[in-house]
Structure 1
Amino acid sequence: MSRSEASEGQAGQGSGGLSLGVDGRFELLPGVRLPRLDSPHAEAYEARDLREPDRPHFALVCRRELLPRVDILERVSRLDRSSIVKPRQWGVVDWHPAGGRRFAIVFEQPGGGRVFGGSLGARAPIRLEDIRRFVIAPLVPLLQELSERGITHRAIRPDNLFYADESRRKVALGESVSAPPGLAQAAVFETIENGMAEPSGRGPGYPPDDLYAFGVLLAVLLTGEIPCADMTDQEIVAAKLKRGSYSALCGRARIPLAMLEPLRGLLCDDPSERWTAGDLKSWLGGRQLTPKLPALPPKATRPFRFAGAEYLDARSLAHALAHDWPSARPSLYDGKIADWMLRSLGNEPRAQLIGNTMRRRQYASAEDGCSDDRTVSRVLMALDPEAPLRYKGLAVNIEGLGAALAVDYHKPEKVQLFVEMLRGRLPLAWFDAQLANRPEFLSVKKLIEQACSFASRARAGFGIERCLYQLNPQWPCQSPLLAQEYVCYIKDLLPALERIAGRGMPSEEPVDRHIAAFCVARVRQVPERLLNNLAAQNTTVRHLAMLQLLADVQQRTGPARLPALTRWYANLLAPAIDGYRNRPYRKRLADEIARLVEQGELGLLSVLFDNPAAVRADEQGFAVARAQYRQAANRISWLEQGGLSGPDNVLRASRQAASMVSAVLAGLMLVVLTVFYAM
């Protein structure tokens, strides 16, 4: 079990702070802020190691709406390097300052302060020899180990660089796990493709992305200033596309001659040609490496005019179209882009793809009004297949789609874009547009295919909620009912609902669309009938389906007793008892429910209510009782209407009486005659 899972639900109030961990080794102090150790998306507080109190620690309390990188915490904590701020413990704590539960991560404090303090303004350059000895030498082995372990840092930037000790003769990278990867990175530190994407949708990336950011970091340390500081993100990406990253970032800077070679290698825009940590290690050892010159996009023989500007390559044109979506749509309809791709760039396959996309638009259904926007998105894929998936104002890397959805989920206008994108199967079109199949995309593609299917189904357990949890296995359930909880593992759902029920019987139903989608995404193999019943109009049927869903969760994950949650459901299903006509059975049912509430097993309560045999017996018994009642009522009515003393009835009764008297007299006469003659 990972320390993340082990710590879940094990946070409590310690002496003067909050304990974290199975053994309560670390104590968080909510009253002691450490703003100098804040991360861009998490506040720092003092933490104590109760076993080694002399070693200073701090804790980052993550924001609820941002997903920490839970999937790499364990691996980062095991890194055999002192050149990174490593996590020591993590889990969920009852964070009273915010009135709810939060994810917290404990780190050992770096020995010195930040290299760049709080701001990123201009400052004195660092000497080349110091950079080689105190920055490159300690960080290259770290980057190599990260790469070998399949971990990306994704937060390499000047303000996340610390002095490892008080002597300030060695540096360490800061943390990179308190928020989604790349979220805090400025576009200048990102590759062209990552810079095009929204920060929330950049994804974990690959080791070459960290090497690129390291190259920009070295340029900052050498020059004392951030490259392109006066440019917008869009302008920075456009400059890199036009001139190449090295020329755009370092072209006007005074770079020492000895650093030209590594910077050209690290800032190479082709990830397959970019220097690796091994190349840097060889360079440190004195080996000369010749970086490949940047391969700029093919230039057209004549420019394409759009929005008052001229473009000579397809990538720059696609970048401009993506940032002026309203103007992009009409500019595509005349077919000039496909003609330009064919005649000016000589790219027949891409020109044909654009032409096919435009022809497909003529037959596409426009019932949702999105077909034109989807056409623009597909044309952008044809122009620049390496770019992120772009739709209207949204741009996400395919591996960052899930994280972007999670971060922006509470922004309705953004969520609508994700819904349209998934229903239009644009992520799958992005895969089809790639120039080559990449093995690392196989698992992602399968998840995306499922998400596109889920987005098109509106019932409970599906929809955009299901996509949210399917694409983000560690994302906590976003149900309003769980607003003060932090439930990211299915095993923690029922204890959270038990706590809520224990604080007072809520008026809401225990299962909403979020909880249903969360359960289905984490449990899998939920029967189709049950999912259909979750949306039933009949209240009893719907509540019973909810009970059956959570009963299945309890059977799989525990805990064994949930008395408060069972009582919650018993109250919801109480009207179903009145549906039985048999009063003694209703009394026995009520007594049995009271017993099961104390026992706290949702499954037994589910079986009690989901009892077709009892329903049939009650219906049959009621049918018999109703027939008997009807017969008795008819008899009473007949008597009340004088049926007993009526002429017909008197005549019939008289005849019956006369017949009986006659029969008796005849019998007596026969007996008398028999006796007389016998004598």
Structure 2
Amino acid sequence: MSLPSQANTGMSAASGATVRLKDRFDIQYDAPLAGLRSPSAPAFVARDAKASGGRHFALICDPKLPSRMEAVRKLQILKSSGVLTPVEVGAVDWAPANRRMFAIVFEQPLGERIVGLGDNTFDPWSEEAIVAYVVAPIVQTLIDLEREGVPHRGIRPGNVFFRDAARRVALLGDCVSAPPGMHQPVVYETIEGAMAQSHARGAGTIAQDLYALGVLVLHLLFGRMPSAGMTEDKVVEAKIKRGSYFALVDEQRVPAGLGELVRGLLIDEPQGRWRLGDVAMWLDGRRMTQKPVPAAPRAQRAFELEGEECVTARHLALVLDMMQPEPAGRVLRGQNFEQWVTRSLGDKQVVEAINTAFATRSDSAAGSAGENMQLISRMLMALDPAAPIRYRDAATTIDGVGTLLSVTMLNGGDVQLVAELLQARLPQFWCLRQGSSKGDDQAALRFFDKLLRYLEDKRPGYGIERVAYETTPGLHCLSPFIEGRYVDRPADLLAAIEFAVQAKTIDIWPIDRHIAAFIAAHERAVDDTLLYALVQTDPAARILGNLQLLAYLQDTYGPPLVPGLILLFGHQAKPVIERFKSRYTRARLQNGLAAVLKENSLRKLADYLDSADEQRRDAQRFQQARREFQQMTKQLEKCDRQEEELHSTAKIAGHSVAVKIAGLVSSGIVAVTLFAMGVL
């Protein structure tokens, strides 16, 4: 056996710059451990500050990939000696990348990898060594993992170590630093997993680990990768046409004993594949009989397409998936396809599923092109229900939708594609196509219905962002304000926002859609009214929505001092104060603001600016002022009426006096005239 040097995994004597994780482990920047790295996570020396003599290393995870946090927690509880178990995890300030990154500390295995990284060929192992050193200890470890519900999803030669210095007991390597199954070569994946995108293969079950164990046995037996030299597409095609066992063994000789084991582990139908109990009995020397597995229906005549002669529905689905959408759609709508399915294939379940696929429509389809893509996706599931959900350029298992979305977000991809997949209810169609009423399938249906409601709700705290955090536990907050701080729990959120405010990354609104969705996904106690306030057009309502939500975080988790946020809200307080009607209240609040800001408490500031008692008193005073104003208005109106009456009376009296005076004057004039004429 060709194995890497033990020196590759030894502790470095250097004492360069370090970063402390959880006040315990010092991770050394300049002491990489090439022999312990994972494909997407370099390894570094980690020293335990609280104990001496231990041998630890840390993996620094790629921030563009979500870690398996649920698996981390379960492994820490399990503490199995057969798999690398996280001793401590958390984000650290990683100077080489100038950002915070997620670190996972493990104990170093006493032995090296069973096959060195980059060793494409090596001396073949003996049958006895494979069984005693690899199969037996891995099966025992898988029994422990199955009990905790944690599939490993990373069984391959470069990720299996020796647990002991004598190199006699296999130890499963890292399975938490990247999405499940992401780094598995296609040959190590079941047909279904191999057809999915590497980051969307899903955790699956221990059945996938047993399949990988079967491939590992062949790999060690041959001294090279099974199907070496074949492209990934050709590997999948060969497995579909010939079955995994014959496709991978090809013309190689397999000893009878191992042949029985490998045949059982590489059965493509999950219901027929050996389970852990079967392998344990085989290890005890009991001869196993292969479980009868009904073969996939074969058509009476082949359906010729793209130069391929397809005799099974699965093979036809594979060829259709590789075609361009327009010609694939024409094939599916064509008479030849219908006749082949109904007359030649003769599979009633496939016929019913195809009819359902044609009958299913989605209002979200973007015109004829969108309808065509959705039809193709449903038809592929009708033909091959066990295969991944395939839509446009996406291919995901049912439990890989979350990592498909999160990796797309983390790498700046097109999340609309995932949104369309959900809006078209393709996961629900997949679940129904399984033809099972088991609790897990029903739970999955309810879960995706809930995700669709989140997706279609455009309020802050919902939308595609909420879907990402609900489907990927442990995904850190992807707000551009704080993504570099790697906040994966609400307890660290406020400190990261404060950091961004002081760094001038945030200058107006501290909470964006990602932060709102992250809070909503983790804090069920948060009232929707607070989230809705974040998009109010009224500046005062929006300021208070941000302030109240951040005050909740400070009340729940701290930190006690957030001077940057206090100053930010202090500068924005004017619109909030101006909403009070009373000039006296506005003046009093403005004059008392400085004293409240000095207390450095978001809760006290929120209570000061958003006091229910103060608002009630202001409203009461305003209503009292309105009543007094109305009363004064009525008095003024009365005075106006009285004034008008006086004017009218005076006018009438004046007219009467004037008439009398005019009469007297006229009489006087007549008298004078008559006197002058000598009449008088």
TM-score tier (shorter): 0.7 to 0.9
* 1:424-469 CA distance string (max 9 Å, x none): 2211121121122333334433322111111122232211111011
CA distance in 2, matches of 1:359, 1:129: 56
CA contact (8 A) 2:70 2:473 kept: no
> Aligned pair in 2 of structure 1 residues 350, 602: CA closer, same or farther (>3 Å)?
same
Shift of 1:621: 9.0
Q: Secondary structure at the match of 1:461?
A: coil
1:224-239 map, 5 Å:
224-239=223-238
Sort the Cα spacing of 1:37 and 1:321 in 2 relative to 1 into closer, same or farther, 3 A. Answer: same
- 1:492 aligns with 492
Distance change in 2, residues 1:618/1:485 (3 Å): farther
SS at match of 2:42: strand
Is contact 2:301–2:344 with CA below 8 Å preserved after alignment?
yes
Q: Give a deviation string over 1:83-125, Cα, whole Å, max 9, x none.
A: 3222211122122222222211111112222222121412221
Does the CA-based 8 Å contact 1:202-1:399 persist in structure 2? Answer: yes
- Greater mean alpha carbon deviation, residues 607-616 or residues 474-483: 607-616
CA drift of 1:69 comes to 1.4
What SS does structure 2 have at the residue aligned with 1:481?
coil
Cα contact 2:431–2:444 (8 A) shared by 1: no
> Structure 1: how far apart are the matches of 2:26 and 2:121?
39
Instruction: Please give the alpha-carbon distance, in whole angstroms, between the structure 2 residues aligned to 1:54 and 1:112.
Output: 17
1:566 aligns with 2:569: no
Following superposition, the deviation at residue 174 of structure 1 comes to 1.1
**Residues 280-359 of structure 1: pairs in structure 2 closer than 5 A:** 280-292=279-291, 295-326=294-325, 327-359=327-359
CA contact (8 A) 2:481 2:505 kept: no
1:250 and 2:249 aligned = yes
Q: Which moved more, 1:135-144 or 1:475-484?
A: 135-144
1:129-140 → structure 2 map (5 Å cutoff) = 129-140=128-139
Q: Which amino acid aligns with 1:609?
A: L
Deviation of the 1:60 alpha carbon: 0.3
CA distance in 2, matches of 1:340, 1:193: 24
What SS class does the counterpart of residue 237 from structure 1 fall into? helix
Residues in 1 aligned to 2:188 and 2:518: alpha-carbon distance in whole angstroms: 35
Does structure 2 conserve the Cα–Cα contact (< 8 Å) formed by 1:191 and 1:269?
yes
Q: Tell me, in whole angstroms, the C-alpha distance in 2 between the residues paired with 1:299 and 1:152.
A: 33
Q: 1:190 Cα deviation (Å)?
A: 0.7
Q: Distance in 2 between matches of 1:205 and 1:277?
A: 15
CA–CA separation in structure 2 for the residues paired with 1:52 and 1:168: 27
2:83, 2:18 → 1: CA distance?
Answer: 27
- Name the counterpart of 2:66: 67
Equivalence map 1:72-151=2 (5 Å): 72-79=71-78, 81-151=80-150
- Residue 616 of structure 2 is matched in structure 1 by 613
Which whole-Å CA distance do the structure 2 matches of 1:367 and 1:614 have between them? 56
Aligned-partner Cα distance in 1 for 2:427–2:336: 26
Amino acid at match of 1:507: D
> Counterpart in 2 of 1:658?
none
Note closer, same or farther for the CA distance 1:188–1:338 as it changes in structure 2 (3 Å cut).
same
Question: Partners of 1:409 and 1:93 in 2: how far apart?
Answer: 22
Are the structure 2 counterparts of residues 581 and 366 from structure 1 closer, same or farther at C-alpha, using a change threshold of 3 Å?
closer
User: Structure 2: which 5+ runs fail to align?
Assistant: 1-14, 634-646, 655-680
Range moving further from structure 2, 546-555 or 83-92: 546-555
User: In 2, distance between residues paired with 1:143 and 1:337?
Assistant: 44
User: 2:436 is matched by which residue type in structure 1?
Assistant: A
Task: State the distance in 2 between where 1:505 and 1:185 align.
Answer: 39
Matched residue, 2:523: 523
Q: 1:349 to 1:87 in 2, by over 3 A?
A: closer
The whole-number CA distance in structure 2 between the counterparts of 1:565 and 1:238 is 58
Post-superposition shift, 1:275? 1.8
Q: Which moved more, 1:476-485 or 1:453-462?
A: 453-462
1:126-154 CA-to-partner distances (Å, cap 9, x unmatched) read: 11122122212322211222122221110
8 Å CA contact 1:580, 1:618 repeated in 2: no
Aligned AA (1:462): Y
State yes or no: 1:19 paired with 2:20: yes
8 Å Cα contact 2:211/2:266 also seen in 1: yes
Q: Is the 8 A contact 1:47 1:58 kept in 2?
A: yes
Where does residue 56 of structure 1 map in the other structure? 55
Between 88-97 and 398-407, the greater mean CA deviation after superposition: 88-97
Q: Find out whether 1:162 has 2:165 as its counterpart.
A: no
Give the aligned partner of residue 201 of structure 1. Answer: 200
Whether the 8 Å CA contact 1:154–1:210 is kept in 2: the answer is yes
2:27 alignment partner, SS class: strand
Aligned length: 625
Compared with structure 1, are the counterparts of its residues 337 and 528 closer, same or farther at alpha carbon in structure 2 (3 Å cutoff)? farther
Whether the 8 Å contact between 1:323 and 1:393 is mirrored in structure 2 is no
Matching residue of 1:377:
377
Provide, for residues 294-321 of structure 1, a one-character-per-residue CA deviation record: whole Å limited to 9, x for no partner. 6542110112222332211101111222
- CA separation in 2, counterparts of 1:245 and 1:295? 16
Structure 1 counterpart of 2:510, one-letter code? P
Cα distance change on mapping 1:375 and 1:28 into 2, 3 Å: same
**Which deviations, in whole Å up to 9, do the C-alpha atoms of 1:21-69 show, x marking residues without a partner?**
3xx3322112211122110111111001234432221100111121111
Cα shift readout 1:193-249 (whole Å, capped 9, x = no counterpart): 111111111111101110100110010000011112222222212211111110111
Q: Quote the Cα distance in structure 1 between the aligned partners of 2:364 and 2:469.
A: 30
Deviation at 1:489, TM superposition (A): 1.5
Measured at CA, do residues 255 and 237 of structure 1 come closer, stay the same or move farther in structure 2, by a change above 3 Å? same
Q: How far, CA to CA, are the matches of 2:512 and 2:235 in structure 1?
A: 44
TM-score for the superposition, normalised by structure 1: 0.84
Where does residue 465 of structure 1 map in the other structure? Answer: 465
Q: Report the CA distance between 1:160 and its aligned residue.
A: 0.8
Q: Could you say which residue in structure 2 is the equivalent of 1:172? A: 171
* Matching residue of 2:445: 445
- Cα contact 1:100–1:485 (8 A) shared by 2: yes
Q: Is the 8 A contact 1:562 1:600 kept in 2?
A: yes
1:363-394 residue CA offsets vs partner (Å, 9 max, x unmatched): 99655952221111111111111111111111
Q: 1:86 to 1:526 in 2, by over 3 A?
A: closer
Q: Cα gap change, 1:325/1:573 in structure 2, threshold over 3 Å: closer, same or farther?
A: farther
Counterpart position of 2:391: 391
1-structure distance, mates of 2:331, 2:448: 30
Q: Say whether the 8 Å CA contact 1:28–1:59 is kept in structure 2.
A: yes
Root mean square deviation, CA, Å: 3.2
Instruction: Give the drift of 1:576.
Output: 3.3
- CA distance in structure 2 between the partners assigned to 1:176 and 1:81 by the alignment: 13
C-alpha spacing 1:362/1:68, structure 2 compared with 1 (3 Å): closer
Unaligned 5+ segments in structure 1 are 1-13, 631-647, 656-679
How far apart are the structure 1 equivalents of 2:573 and 2:372? 49
Q: For 1:108 and 1:599, how far apart are their aligned partners in 2?
A: 45
User: SS where residue 408 of structure 1 aligns?
Assistant: helix
CA distance in 2, matches of 1:85, 1:192: 27
What is the distance in 2 between the residues matched to 1:246 and 1:25? Answer: 48
Range with bigger deviation, 446-455 or 152-161: 446-455
Alignment of 1:636-655 (within 5 A): none
User: Is 350-359 or 499-508 further displaced after alignment?
Assistant: 499-508
Q: 1:331 to 1:344 in 2, by over 3 A?
A: same
> Which range is displaced more, 480-489 or 150-159?
480-489
- For residues 362 and 447 of structure 1, the distance between their equivalents in structure 2, rounded to whole angstroms, comes to 19
> 1:475 maps to what in 2?
475
Between the aligned residues of both structures, percent identity stands at 37
Which of 223-232 and 205-214 deviates more? 223-232
Paired residues of 2:94 and 2:100 also in contact (CA < 8 A)? yes
Distance 1:605 1:565 in 2: 11
Residues 284 and 361 (structure 1), Cα distance of their counterparts in 2 relative to 1, 3 Å cut: closer
Range moving further from structure 2, 269-278 or 506-515:
269-278
Question: What is residue 637 of structure 2 aligned with on the other side?
Answer: none
